[in-house]
Structure formats: C-alpha cells, structure tokens
Structure 1
C-alpha cells in the first residue's frame, strides 16, 4: 500500500504524494485556477492533471529527479533552454507584480530585517543596494515565478517537467534565472549556456539579493529554515 508523503505544507497550501500522484491542496481558488491555466499555456513539460475537485488538484508524478548538485552540466543547460522557451512564449493574460509593487514589499521586509537585527546593518545596506538595481523597468515575459531547482525535474540530461506554477505571471526573465541558480552560483554558466541569450549577470546577482530579502521572513514565519538564503545575503560582501 502506498504511503502518504508530505512534500511541503504551510498555512497557504500543502502538497502530498501518494504513490505516483501528487495532491495539491490550495484554499485560494483563484490561485489554483491560474496554476492550471499556466500549465496549459506553458511551452515546456508540466505535470499531467489527473483530476480536480477544489481545493484539491491531482497531478501525475514526473519521471526523473529534481535538479541538484549531482545533475550534469548538460541537465542544467537544458533547464536554461527550458527557461528560454518559456520566456519566449506569450505571457499569461493576468497581471504580474510591477517593479513599484516589489519595491514597496522590499521596503517592508528590509524594515523587518533592521528591527530584528537579522543582518549586520552594513550587510543589509549592501544587499538592499544590490536589490534595488534589479527593480528597473523590464519587458514582461512568461515567468514561472518560483523556478527553484527543486521544481525542475530531469532524467539524465533531459528536462522531464517543471512543477509548481502557482506564482506564474508576466515578469522579469532574470528573476527566473536567479531563482533557478540561487545558492548554486557554480551552475550559472551552465544555465546561461542553455539559455543562449545575452544576459546581464550583475542583474542576476541583484535578483539573488532581492529574492532572499523578500522570502526570509516568510520562511521563518512558516517554519522553514532560512539559513541558505541568509548565507546568500552574507556572501554579497
């Protein structure tokens, strides 16, 4: 008999695995609707929808394993190529966050960092300065919105699918590339080789700082370990 595995769970949503089926429970019906539509629109492999009975979405498991430090350079390059295919596709028909909206959120998060002394003041200032450079005007593209390596599955050197499209929206292409390589700077060259476009790596570094500043408090409040993100911020000296 297959056992129930808790993949991830927090106050907003949860994902369970039962055999070869993933069950996503999301109390936000609009967000779940957008995820299903994003998977249908995305020009890259995504999990097959088996059935849906809100608030539950059942998805078929993807073959292969999530990208990690043992994946080949070719697999990381294939992930870059998949990101490029996504960014070249027409964006989904709903709005994404603007630079101004992200800047307002960044203000709130940096105030929290300062109030709780989470980082030395000089390091917070350094990362905030870097993060601000990412918030320039951009041409919105189809972004995954949370393109962590753990959401990208590969079998050998081939990408078999991309999970978790709940944050998909028009946005900055470099945010996806930064999320994919966050904490894995040694893989950036492989990803960019597959992406095959001129990319300002300085802006990817800026997005590393921005993403970490935005997510650390959420991780703490939802019971996750923020130390990897803190380490990225500490490395921006």
Structure 2
C-alpha cells in the first residue's frame, strides 16, 4: 500500500497524497464545488479530477515540480517564470465566472477588514506599530477600482507546476472567481520580488500593471495573513515569509 503523506492540514481543510493521487478534504462543501467548476472553466492546464464526493475531491498528480515556495529558493528559471506569467495572462483574458472570488472583495470591505486586523496586530503585540502603519499605507494602493478578470485567488508559486520551461498545471482553485488580476500577480510573486520582471515579461502588454498596486497587495495580503498563520501552526516569521515581506516595504 502506498504511504499516506499529509501535504497540508489545518482546521479548515487538509490535503493528503497517496501515491499519484491527492485527496482534498474541505469543511466547506461549497468551496470544493467552486474548485471543481473553476477547473472545468479555466483555460490553463489543471489536474485531472478522478472523483468528487463532497467533502472530498480526488485529483491526479501533475507532471513536473513547483516553481518553489514562500520562504524558500525558486527552483525555476527566468523562462519558467515568464511561462507562468503567460499562463496567468491566458487565465485573466478568459471570460470571468459569474461568482466573486477571493480576489474580488470590494475595496470598502477590504479596508474595513484591514483596519481591524492592523489594530489587532498592534494590540496583541504580534507586530510593531511602525511596521503595521507603514504597510497599511502601502496597502492603500490596492484599494481601488478594478476590471473583473478570471482570477485564481490563491496563486502561490507552490500551486504552479512546471516541467522545464513548460507550465504543466495549476492546482488549488477553491478561491477562484471574478476578481482583480493584479491580486493574482502579487500573490504569485510574494516573497520572490526578484522574479516580478520575468512574470510581467511573460504576461505581456495590454493590461495596465501598476507596480505600486502589486506592492500594495503584497502588504495587504501579508497583514491579513500573519495572525491566521500563527493561530493555525504556520510560521510567518520564517525567513522570506510574510513578516519579511512586510519588513521589505520599510
């Protein structure tokens, strides 16, 4: 029998690997349904769905390896990062799905959530006040009107697989929906600022890519994530992770 490996696990969801099969268990059945539908609509390579029995989704392993992970070195070449940028552009150019995704929250709602979280970070002593205040100002750039696009919503580099310079698949679509294209670009390059130029080169022209907005999303996403990560057993203070992303804006 193949060994069962826990890929990630917390109170909301867990992913297990058994041989070449990944089993995703999600406490939110609607989120699993969103993932299945989003993969059926996405114009980029996605894993083969083997079966879906809520709250469990079984998918096949993808060929290749990820481009890296947050807090670790990138294993991909500049050409691979550019290929990922081109794949992201293909997704963003597709007709967006009818439902809002994680990248589609309104500026008003995000600003309120961000202000509450910044207050909690300072009050609890998790982060120093000057670090929070500086990044709150940087995050303001992301809080602006945007044209809806087909967004992945959680496009971490660990969710994009490549074989050489070819993108072989994108995983974890549970947060997909209508949203801000620059949120995806920011999430993908979070902690790997040195590859932003490669990604933009592959992404191409025709959409206004405002670097200040991407910086804003880096700060906003990191501020909102720190306490959740700590409370769920992850370490945002590890080298290259969220707290270092916030420090870089200082």
Count matched residues: 237
Map 1:61-140 onto structure 2 (within 5 A).
Answer: 61-68=61-68, 69-95=74-100, 96-140=104-148
Task: Check if 1:230 corresponds to 2:243.
Answer: yes
In the alignment, which residue of structure 1 is the partner of 2:40?
A: 40
- List runs of 5+ in structure 2 lacking aligned partners: 69-73
1:195 to 200, 203, 218: 203
- List runs of 5+ in structure 1 lacking aligned partners: none
Question: CA deviation digits over 1:171-203, x for unaligned, max 9?
Answer: 111110001000001110100000012411111
Structure 1: distance between partners of 2:114 and 2:185: 20
Task: Check if 1:19 corresponds to 2:32.
Answer: no
In the alignment, which residue of structure 1 is the partner of 2:59?
A: 59
TM superposition score normalised by structure 1: 0.97
1:179 to 177, 180, 187: 187
Structure 1: distance between partners of 2:8 and 2:125: 28
Structure 2: distance between partners of 1:214 and 1:183: 15
**Stretch deviating more after TM superposition (105-114 or 80-89):** 105-114
Q: Secondary structure at the match of 1:57?
A: strand
| RMSD between superposed Cα atoms in Å | 1.0
2:157 to 149, 153, 163: 149
TM superposition score normalised by structure 2: 0.92
Q: Secondary structure at the match of 1:5?
A: strand
Structure 2: distance between partners of 1:147 and 1:177: 8
Structure 2: distance between partners of 1:8 and 1:76: 24
Q: Secondary structure at the match of 1:33?
A: helix
